[in-house]
Amino acid sequence: METRGADDVWLIKFYAPWCTFCKQLDPVWHQIGSELRSLGSLINVGKSDTTKSTGLAKDFRVMNYPAILMLKKDVKYNYPGPRTKEGIMDFANRVAGPLVRSLSSVQLFQHAMQRHNVMIVYVGATSPLKGNFSSVANELIVHTFFFSASRDVLPKTVSLPSLPAVVVFKDGTYFTFNEELDGDLKSWINRERFPNYFKIDSYTLYSMGESGKLVLVVLVEEKGQCEESLRFKGLVEKVAADYREIYSRHFHFGFMEGSDYINGYVMGQVTLPFIIALNLSNDGYFLPLGAMETERHLLDFLNGILDGTIQGQGGNCAYQRMSRLIYDIRVTLTLVFIQAPLLGCLLVSIPLTMVAMFCYLCCKHRPTQSDDDDSVAMFAPSLPRRKQTNKKSD
């Protein structure tokens, strides 16, 4: 940090020696460093032990492990995606390059369209809108690419009401930003930077919470998807495409393979295939009231959520947070007991032993009745003894 150049770009992994996930990332991290060096990239790749370099970890605000950050011109970018070689390489090349990439020819535009499922493009000359676009790119470059182009580079089928304009290309079509209808540019890009229907993982789901939309998810098997799972996926994909103008302002659509993440979200076991709508802003969710057999059933489910006839469940109140903590502990201990019974017994016995010792010490030092009597006798004032009289005389 003291000797680096002003234009140096660093990709850094922050780890702890005891972190299992950090150790699993080590081979991937070495592959990334080797590949970037072989490609002649200007990105420097390094790693930092947070138990030794505590000051550096504090400067980068490292909160979990392994943390992956990029330092570029004193700006720190936190990688929010899956810990895979492809995802990290894409993040590194995206952030290390220009914030807004220029598409100066039809060939470059077509090439970019083939590579990216979603393209966010500024069209026109220099303007206040372009300055705003660049500011948003500086914040959201960790998630997606940003481009600029002139009008004659775009396909002839693209019709823009006026210039300058911001256009999102995805799902075989395009959408133009309208400040009166769409509000803030950053919020609009946050909502539109996802495909209309796509495969979702836990990292993507977390970042979708920033869009302010609900997420309708189909949960299917990771391998060997059954006929019912394929039918559910096709049903949701069709509704997402056919009714985009109605529901796109309120919902994202997609599917997830496996149910582990959602099991923790609803604090229970779900049966695949399964349809659920998530409210990521407050950890809430909505469940269908009946069977999901037809398109009409799915539309009624979506409409019921929007008009309030289907009540949300879950949430992030104190009771729900405590319930989720207890559920997570129970699930973790169950897995430990299955995989390592002796370790599980040890983990359970330690807190139980501490509680038993505490109770024993409390009972041992509790004053007894004789102690109380002695104390009273010690501190009570001495009273004059009553003179004894003869009962007969009385």
Q: Count of H helices and E strands in the chain?
A: 15, 15
d(C-alpha 275, C-alpha 240), whole Å = 14
Of 19, 226, 345, 363, which is the active-site residue?
19
Phi/psi at 51 (5° precision):
-75, -20
Handedness of CA 38, 43, 44, 47 (dihedral sign): negative
d(C-alpha 332, C-alpha 9), whole Å = 39
Tell me the β-bridge partners of 174: 169
d(C-alpha 172, C-alpha 117), whole Å = 9
Phi/psi at 106 (5° precision):
-65, -40
* Secondary structure letter of residue 209 according to DSSP: G
Three-state DSSP state, 198: strand
Q: Report H helices in 253-317.
A: 260-266, 295-307
Of 22, 345, 362, 363, which is the active-site residue?
22
d(C-alpha 37, C-alpha 40), whole Å = 5
**Known catalytic membership, residue 359:** no
- Cβ atoms of 284 and 314 within 8 Å: the answer is yes
- Cβ atoms of 153 and 104 within 8 Å: the answer is yes
**Known catalytic membership, residue 22:** yes
- Cβ atoms of 262 and 219 within 8 Å: the answer is yes
Three-state DSSP state, 262: helix
d(C-alpha 321, C-alpha 326), whole Å = 9
- CB contact set of 145 (below 8 Å; sequence gap of 6+): 94, 101, 112, 116, 119, 120
Q: How many residues does the chain have?
A: 394
Nearest of 336, 214, 190, 203 to residue 275 by alpha carbon: 214
Active site residues: 19, 22
